[in-house]
Amino acid sequence: MSTQFGVFVPQGWRMDLVEIPGSIQKYEAMTAVAKAVDELPAYDSVWVYDHFHTVPQPTQEAVFESWAVTAALARDTTRVNIGQMVTCNGYRNPALLAKIASTTDVLSHGRLYCGLGAGWYEHEWKAYGYGFPETRDRMRAFREAVQIIVRMWTEDTPTFDGEYYHIHGPINEPKGVRKPHPSLWLGGGGETITLKLVAQYANACNLGGGDPQVIKQKLEVLQQHCEALGRNYGEIIKSTSINIVLLEDGADRERATEPHRKAYGWSLEELERQAVVGNAEQVAAHLQAAVDAGANYMITYFPRIAYDHTPMQRFATEVVPAVR
């Protein structure tokens, strides 16, 4: 498949709505980005994060809840798919999540991308009363959750008795629009559990954080799992998430990136560790390296997109055509 592209909307989690006063105005800025993406054929999707507290430090700034936002954006747009990269398994019972996702797939007329991962942000886990289980437990619960969600989407009276979750014939109607079930995207590069689950159940994976070496390594493992299970590796979407600061040709990097760094108190070097910083040609070269490593879906994040849509629009016209 040819390379496809998605865009994270400014949701507050990454301190990307702080310059906008008022919660209603913040939401309208967020949905304005989604509506703009909906009008740009270069993009296939919009995305949200599943977090409650800001990064890099928890603050009192607004962060919109991911599934309420997913549903709202589904009604605010008409063309793009809407996904979460990714839903934290520990925040919602998987049977409930399957029901929420099915409903959202219907109200979006089949445009849902349901992202799921094991979760990692310890501070908000504990703050919301979920505790913070050891990695072993979070991963095993994640594995059970994936199985339950798929059963809820495909069976009339599913049952499951696991170590962490149990269901006893829950009715999930409607099950969604997309067939055989809503599109399931699993996030993470765990080679023993996550990538095997992708091979077994998922429509797509998200891994590597835009790093071509990591992408290549993880996809080789995924391919091995697919071969062992008899799954068609080629039918799985291989996505990666990349933060982008798109500069004009000849721009002074220090001056041009100052607004992007201000919210975090970062130096230029710190920003460059977190994002691809460069002009259209330089950004395209980085993305092409990720494609050459095996990725075929880029989920982009533009730090100041709430205030200025220009980088997103320039990316669509100057970068997307250059990535093969």
Does the structure show a pLDDT above 70 at 80? Answer: yes
Distance CA 11, CA 320 (A): 24
Query: Where residue 24 sits, what CATH number does that domain have?
Result: 3.20.20.30
pLDDT band at 263 (very low <50, low <70, confident <90, very high): confident
Beta bridge partners of 111: none
Task: Give me the sign of the Cα torsion angle 227, 152, 110, 195.
Answer: negative
pLDDT per position as a tens digit, 303-320: 999 999 999 999 999 999
Count of domains in the chain?
Answer: 1
pLDDT per position as a tens digit, 295-305: 999 999 999 99
For the chain, give the number of residues. Answer: 324
Does the structure show a pLDDT above 90 at 154? Answer: yes
Average pLDDT over residues 91-103: 98
Location of structure tokens 């835009």: 210
Question: CA triplet 59, 60, 64: central angle to 5 degrees?
Answer: 100
Judge contact between 49 and 11, C-beta under 8 A. Answer: yes
Average pLDDT value over all residues in the chain? 97
pTM of the shown model: 0.96
Distance CA 7, CA 48 (A): 9
pLDDT band at 123 (very low <50, low <70, confident <90, very high): very high
pLDDT per position as a tens digit, 229-261: 999 999 999 999 999 999 999 999 999 999 999
Give the distance, in angstroms, between the CA of residue 68 and the centroid of all CA atoms in the same chain: 15
Residue 320 DSSP symbol: G
Cβ neighbours around 75 below 10 Å, total: 11
Distance CA 309, CA 134 (A): 41
Distance CA 314, CA 312 (A): 6
Exposure on the CB side of residue 200, measured as CA atoms within 13 A: 12
Pairing of strands 159-161, 87-88: unpaired
Judge contact between 54 and 83, C-beta under 8 A. Answer: no
Distance CA 182, CA 190 (A): 23
DSSP per-residue string spanning 79-119: SSEEEES-EEGGGS-HHHHHHHHHHHHHHTTS-EEEEEE--
Range of the domain at 227: 4-322
Pairing of strands 166-168, 159-161: antiparallel
pLDDT band at 85 (very low <50, low <70, confident <90, very high): very high
pLDDT per position as a tens digit, 167-186: 999 999 999 999 999 999 99
Judge contact between 272 and 241, C-beta under 8 A. Answer: no
Does the structure show a pLDDT above 70 at 1? Answer: no
